[in-house]
Structure 1
Amino acid sequence: MNVRGPRPPAWKTLLALLSLSLSALLWVNALLQSLEEPTVVGALDRRQLELTALAAPAVPARLRELLTGAEPLEALRDSLAEQLADSDGPGQPEELLQLALLQSQAGESAGAAQLWRRLQQQIPPEQRALVGALERAEPLAPELLQTLQQPWLLSPLNERLVCERLSAAPGPCGGGSEARRALWRLLGVSWVPGVLLLVGLGLLLRQAWIRIRGLAPSPPPLQGPPLDLVDVTLLIAGGFVLLGELSVPLLLAPAVQALLRPLAQEPALQQGLQVLLLYLALMAAPLAILWGQLRTSPAAAPAAGWLQWRWTPLGTSVQLALQQVLMLLPAVALVGWLTSQLFGNQGGSNPLLELVLTTDQPLALGCFALTAVVLAPLFEETLFRGVLLPVLGQRWGGSTAVVVSAGVFAAAHLSLNELAPLLVLGLGLGWLRLQGGRLGSCTLVHALWNGFTFTNLLLLAG
């Protein structure tokens, strides 16, 4: 349906075009720059291989090939050696230590000797005593071994490998409870998603069959705020991109850093609060613009409001959200796999992934969770499926609106590496908004998706 309102003033149209042009330049530049940013994929792969090796002792022999593979330590050693060979930098001490331990255990003494020397040159003096003892492979009393490990923050697997090389105490290194916990985490990050993916594939096939047979219910009328294309351009290009993504880091980041300076002894909590406060600041300008646009509209809002949240009945919203999340899993996984096969894992990942993966401070993790699982879904769905999609749909049709809003949603994350999977996620969210008419269901899908990713990161991080 084409909707034409009064022609906007020339100054407003000019301001919208200027905002759109500047935003396009900023986004294109940021997307290209993301190719130079570090990716978290290698770290995720390494964490999963570490988890597999840590869980292996708790796996029954008859299931080991299925759950962890025959030689999980060998797989970790080969992957880590390849990552370090491909890296331009010297490598992190923890990675070098792990590879040296694995190579020593496998009898690759020449390669391990080179790594010991690299470590001695790279680490501070207080950490060198442990490296020297590992290089000599001399058994140590438990008390002395514990003293040498104190300057290091060893991962559970590295702690076990160090113990196996140096411990003079009888019995196996590492408790069985640690391996059992690792096994449960491994099942959570590898097998549970696999089962959910199969369930989602079944739901996708069922949905396709319903559509082919013409049994799907008719979608409700597409309702949205009484805005025109100029208003939406000013909201997203002007409010979200220029005032939010560009101005907030430039103007407010120094003030937030100064505010949080008393927490310098808690860098993880400081980082978590900074992420939370800056995201709240980013939300403020576009939401204020949207509030002003709706407040001055002479039109009467429909019964469910301009944004059509329609949370109630809550059971219906939750059911739609769960079904959509499951159906999105195989689609996004397939596109992500194809992207990595065709283009590799070039381009930066969301920096929040690395922060969650390397943080064990509960309050900091709470800040990250609040940002990713609550604020981001509410804010992004308000803009992209609450405003942009219905305004475009009333002029260009529902299908075009779903595609365009999904493209803007994917580009807004400023990562070429994640562009295609995010586009598929945006298409699924837009389709749900079109077919169900509920913005609340879209927000729940987005929150569940981010929560699923967040939980996987926590399981990998341990």
Structure 2
Amino acid sequence: MTPGNQPGPQGEQAAAPRWKQLLALVSLALSLLLWLNGLLDSLSRPSVGQSLNRRQLELAVLAEPQLPTPWRPLLAGPQPRQTLAKALAKDIKASNISGSTAAPALQLLEQGLSQLQAGDRQGAQGPLEALLADPALAGGPEARLAAALLEPQSPAVQAEGHRAALRLVGVTVVPAVVLLLGIALLLRELWQRWRGRSPEPPPLQGPQLGGLDVVLLIAGGFVVVGELLTPLLVAPLFSGLLNASGITSPLREGVSVLGLYLALMAGPLLILVLQLRGLGPAPEGGWLQFRWRPLGSALRRALRTLLMVLPLVSLSGWLLERVWSEGSGSNPLLELVLNSHNLPALACFGFTAVVLAPLFEETIFRGVLLPVAARQLGAGCGVLISAAVFAVAHLSLGELLPLLVLGLGLGWLRWSGGRLGSCVLLHALWNGLTFTNLVLLGW
């Protein structure tokens, strides 16, 4: 990579007022403390990976009778019921430690499965019927599976099994095909670059800001204002408004996530607007270089890069799991999506994850941080720094490496194509795939 050819901004840090330097220093110190605390706190949060694995096994048990016999071992595994019973025992232990309300459903389902595995169908009826009789557990995936285990020949259960089979294909076969396509595209890209056939990247344009401005934007705006002050000041007010409106769970959680994320965005974006206003006339395409048009080419570049990044992120996640099997906590939004069966709430979660988060995060990390760092340190360092800050900002040690690889892919797309709009689309596609997978497993 080669650095952008833009001149440095006028009035760099040496000419900045002392109060501005002090504010940046305090913001940076607070941000480091908050992020370090958040990363360490992720060690005590449950990982959504265990829940995803269990949900996929539940789906496999439900779908197995409806799968063609030759495909059953490939799609559902050789012994899905036995494997699910082991996963349930592990999740029960984790749920009891964390005080999760999911423990009763898991315990009843595990007891029923164990009795069925032992050949005691009559003994399995007690826990399975208790699971169905509990109003707090009714309608959930464990209750639907319990009904299927009790009455496997029921027409309703068979119809549910057919739907489960389609969902199982969606979360197993489709990702595998996409992964193979991504590997092929990645090998082709590497071959073209090795043969020197790849086009030269355009000049990397970005806002004429200095490092001090970026520290104030990210440390001061994104972390201190957005992640610290916004929850403290806005969350109680927003909770009062929700109480007054009469909105109840689960929609309450969806509206709360959407509203608080909008509030989190407001402070950093206001700071950025004020910073850009003092730069004078913007270049063609604007300071951030969204350049949405032509939309078709931006979408094609985003989709192509998504396919190439997917195998690398999957590999990094697999390696991390081999080295650190326990992992750490995931983004709480993932659990909310997985366990929600309310369409309006899912719409709020989806809009936040697929629209707001890509627009906001790409504006900060690839729209500002990357080109400013690239101008001062070189494009390679700019891509790496933006990816590292992007990964740390998600506050999960267990997802740090995969997020770093995803950030490198987003940075490479920004550097190679020059368009921030493509990065937003790639980020939205990635979050959309994750969201869809969670809905298929959790619904």
TM-score scaled by length of structure 2: 0.92
CA deviation string 1:316-358 (max 9, x = no partner): 1011000011011100000011111101242110000000011
Contact 2:9 2:209 in 1 (8 A): no
Match of 1:370 in 2: 351
Residue identity opposite 1:393 in structure 2: A
1:189 to 168, 171, 182: 171
Task: Provide the C-alpha distance between the structure 1 equivalents of 2:155 and 2:93, rounded to a whole number of angstroms.
Answer: 30
Match of 1:68 in 2: 76
Task: Provide the C-alpha distance between the structure 2 equivalents of 1:133 and 1:8, rounded to a whole number of angstroms.
Answer: 69
Larger Rg: 1
Task: Provide the C-alpha distance between the structure 1 equivalents of 2:64 and 2:354, rounded to a whole number of angstroms.
Answer: 32
Match of 2:114 in 1: 103
Contact 2:58 2:145 in 1 (8 A): no
Residue identity opposite 1:161 in structure 2: A
Moved more, 449-458 or 78-87: 78-87
1:93 to 104, 112, 131: 104
Find runs of 4+ consecutive structure 1 residues off by over 6 angstroms.
none
Tell me: CA distance 1:163–1:388, structure 2 relative to 1, closer, same or farther (3 Å). closer
Residue identity opposite 2:232 in structure 1: L
Match of 2:44 in 1: 36
Tell me: CA distance 1:395–1:156, structure 2 relative to 1, closer, same or farther (3 Å). closer
Moved more, 254-263 or 314-323: 254-263
Whether 1:303 aligns to 2:284 is yes
Contact 2:254 2:345 in 1 (8 A): yes
Q: CA RMSD in A?
A: 2.3
Contact 1:47 1:461 in 2 (8 A): yes
Task: Provide the C-alpha distance between the structure 2 equivalents of 1:151 and 1:302, rounded to a whole number of angstroms.
Answer: 58
Residue identity opposite 2:8 in structure 1: V
Whether 1:357 aligns to 2:338 is yes
Contact 1:210 1:216 in 2 (8 A): yes
Trace 1:427-438 onto structure 2 (pairs within 5 A): 427-438=408-419
Moved more, 284-293 or 1-10: 1-10
Trace 1:378-389 onto structure 2 (pairs within 5 A): 378-389=359-370
Q: Percent identity?
A: 51
Shift of 1:3: 2.4
The 3-state SS of whatever aligns with 2:329 is coil
Task: Could you tell me which runs of 5 or more consecutive residues in structure 2 were left unpaired when the two chains were aligned.
Answer: none
Task: Provide the C-alpha distance between the structure 1 equivalents of 2:338 and 2:127, rounded to a whole number of angstroms.
Answer: 30
Task: Could you tell me which runs of 5 or more consecutive residues in structure 1 were left unpaired when the two chains were aligned.
Answer: 117-129, 136-144
Contact 1:101 1:162 in 2 (8 A): no
Residue identity opposite 2:29 in structure 1: S
TM-score scaled by length of structure 1: 0.88
The 3-state SS of whatever aligns with 2:199 is coil
Match of 2:222 in 1: 240
Task: Provide the C-alpha distance between the structure 1 equivalents of 2:154 and 2:142, rounded to a whole number of angstroms.
Answer: 13
2:268 to 283, 286, 291: 286
Whether 1:55 aligns to 2:28 is no
Shift of 1:9: 1.8
Aligned residues: 431
Contact 2:108 2:128 in 1 (8 A): no
Shift of 1:11: 2.0
Trace 1:10-409 onto structure 2 (pairs within 5 A): 10-85=18-93, 88-89=96-97, 92-107=103-118, 131=126, 148=133, 152-155=137-140, 158-162=143-147, 164-165=149-150, 171-172=153-154, 174-262=156-244, 266-298=248-280, 300-409=281-390
Shift of 1:296: 1.7
Match of 1:120 in 2: none
Match of 1:423 in 2: 404
Match of 1:123 in 2: none
The 3-state SS of whatever aligns with 1:312 is coil
